[in-house]
Structure 1
């Protein structure tokens, strides 16, 4: 158990105090804090994808073509939403730095400055998602897929501002090491989503049968529900006055400068990665409805497990950020390596049931025997993809927590735009591997990414940390 050092200010949290511990105690402390923080975050992150999984299962069992339309419509929406998550990453990281310095007012000002910025991002990305039609056309999709996917993308776009509001509030609370409200909110949202999804897709209980549109409307309604509930909690939470939560948003653009600049690199990085995966989804769409459905199911499983990695990575970023905020380089390095190795180990374990039972997993999402057979052949690659993809996210989160901005972005550019897309295209269309070629492209890119980012963290963690400047 960590103990605050003698002479520390009253109320200093034990886990943010520079405590001299023996190596095995330091490791045990970091593992304990990593899982204490990450478990609620993992549940909250999983909740985001569980809603998508429920959509996929319900729509996939309703109609394979509708599943293909919904998967393609989600591609631009998800790409922009994840870019927005990256742009707002500075909220969590800078909040954790403030916690490391025991400066609660500064932490609150970060949220107040970034909330209007999140709204601005949400409105801009809503407009871009609404205009997805051109992307489907230039990607060479059929008129039928383009028409239905465009309509679904328009419905999804309405929930984009809500997604950014929720993310900003959740990141702030996670930076404070208070992730439980986000977890509780996500569990509640999933219960509502399950009931509403079934009702609107199949037309149960006297409601109209909307098919894939019902799933899209459900997602949008749920996102606004979550955003408003989380915002209400933040404004009314115990201790809100200590953080100055209700002190207004004056000069928000100037006060959000550091968070924005940190987010530009993270947003570019995550935008490039998800944009690359969007390209792969569109490649699958060119192969036809069956390939698009199989790719979508496999990517849903990958994304679902990736949320476990994302929760561990977020906790890693906070742990590294707190050590960085108090200028403890050795503890910062230890937090980062424990986060990276733990994430890869957890992801490997999670991949094993999917590897051994691919057919049974595929049957959860579709009754189409052709889709099941193709999906089962893709799922056996997960023991390679899960650890490497999860590991690169943990490594880049550790680098963000340590204040590293643009080098991780360049590494993502090389891995996902310069390697994954060309490799996926070559293997799929030139070598004739079909949709399996797309996933071998992901394997290659993830291996390059995790290796490069781990080397970069070793370099960064061996540097002295500069003194904090107000």
Structure 2
């Protein structure tokens, strides 16, 4: 008996190699999106660390909108992967075009909605319902926070449609097994974003230092640069805009169904995490900075997990297209185990290098209202390490479930975990018990723990069911 024959069915070397080959480029590509935000935060940390709160809070309406749109667009990847698995990828252009039109329409509608609502929304959050806090008032008034956040939000809103277009292109290229191309384009975007940050935030080359608003303009400008490049390459290299065979009956409905479930989950997770930024700001601007910079590291780690989750989704969808139940089950289990192994590695690195990481995020002497930011961030890295493991598990398991057609149960778990569990836990620990930034992070851990455990449990339950059953 050979060593490979004694391994579990899901751990075949060929499958592990396929997962790595697909997930690493995707993770590196997805990391580019996070690196744009991390670059913004680092530049702000050197020149205006107190304005990070304006950017993070602005992502409440922007993040929810993107989560909705990006979720709907996941159907582009799943259905294209199914066609690829059965050798019909030449007809995938109709899948892409359908998703592209949804992204353009939804992006335009959400932009028109956000622009007039930004001011009243943040006045309500930071003035009307904000709990009294002496620490918060010491740095900036509620009116100041509301006005600055609304201004940043309006600038970011102009990039919504562009973001959705690039996501549709990325999903399509990755499903056609061209992840390296996506990676190269996204890192070109990181470079453009960094140049714009240095100009508009740091004030290089004679530009004025615009702080948080400079970050927003850099993000929006970068997004539209990527739109132009992505659309040109998709048109030249893929069947995206070529004539496609007629769609099978129910194809559009299936694409919507896959996307709607993911959209709900994204709204729950992204909206939930963005509300935690609000809770941290209610504590104080300093607490928001400490918590926000810590979450930037968590978000960077999540991109590794997202690579595994996306690759797992592609491999599961291909197996579904081949109607192979064993391959479906093994692909999901391999993704979960890979996530756990990666989580242990990343957790150890965060704990060991917490201090130099915090020094990279903000100036060593940066402080807000007497609180030294770098030491406070470093002290929370052990909790960030724990959060990343369960955040990764909930992503991998839910992606694998949706690739099998199970939509509503994973979405319900996300809604319950992040809105019913996480947000109240963050408020209770941070404000009621007075634990500040640490309390917000502890509440986030509780939410991710519940989400990760439940999604994996459902994936194992689903593994015993036939592929033909597309549970809602």
TM-score by length of 2: 0.89
For residues 290 and 89 of structure 2, the distance between their equivalents in structure 1, rounded to whole angstroms, comes to 48
1:150 maps to 150
Matches within 5 A, 1:268-347: 268-347=264-343
- Farther-moved stretch of structure 1 (433-442 vs 47-56): 433-442
| Cα distance in structure 2, aligned partners of 1:246 and 1:418 | 46
Q: Partners of 1:22 and 1:59 in 2: how far apart?
A: 49
Q: Distance in 2 between matches of 1:26 and 1:383?
A: 26
- Counterpart contact for 1:291–1:371, Cα < 8 Å: no
Cα distance in 2 for residues equivalent to 1:405 and 1:68 = 34
The whole-number CA distance in structure 2 between the counterparts of 1:279 and 1:68 is 12
Q: Which moved more, 1:121-130 or 1:28-37?
A: 121-130
Offset of residue 175 of structure 1? 1.4
User: What pairs with 1:139-218 in structure 2 (closer than 5 Å)?
Assistant: 139-141=125-127, 142-218=142-218
Q: Give the TM-score normalised by the residue count of structure 1.
A: 0.89
Equivalence map 1:43-192=2 (5 Å): 43-130=28-115, 131-141=117-127, 142-192=142-192
User: Bigger shift: 359-368 or 417-426?
Assistant: 359-368
> Of 234, 250, 259, which residue of structure 1 is paired with 2:255?
259
Which shifted more, 262-271 or 125-134? Answer: 125-134
Listed one character per residue, the Cα deviations across residues 27-82 of structure 1 (whole Å, up to 9, x for unaligned) are 21221111111111111100001011111010121112222222222333223212
SS at match of 1:465: coil
* Residues 357 and 22 of structure 1: CA distance in aligned 2, closer, same or farther (over 3 Å): closer
2:139 is matched with which residue?
A: none
2:90–2:244 CA contact under 8 A, matched in 1: no
Deviations 1:211-261 (A, max 9, x none): 222221111111011111111101011xx3xx362339999xx86332112
Extract unaligned runs of 5+ from structure 2. 128-141
Q: Determine the C-alpha separation between the residues in 1 that align with 2:240 and 2:357.
A: 48
Q: Distance in 2 between matches of 1:404 and 1:112?
A: 24
Question: Would the aligned equivalents of 2:92 and 2:244 in 1 still touch at CA under 8 Å?
Answer: no
Distance 1:129 1:359 in 2: 38
Secondary structure at 2:380 match in 1: helix
Tell me, yes or no, if structure 1 residue 220 matches structure 2 residue 220. Answer: yes
Distance in 1 (alpha carbons) for counterparts of 2:340 and 2:457? 16
Question: Aligned partners of 2:143 and 2:335: how far apart in 1?
Answer: 46
Superposed CA RMSD in Å reads 2.4
Distance 1:127 1:27, change over 3 A: farther
Q: Which moved more, 1:361-370 or 1:436-445?
A: 361-370
Give yes or no for contact 1:298–1:375 (8 Å, CA) kept in 2. yes
Map 1:349-364 onto structure 2 (within 5 A).
349-364=345-360
Question: Which whole-Å deviations, capped at 9, do the CAs of 1:348-371 have from their partners, x for residues lacking one?
Answer: 211222212323222212221422
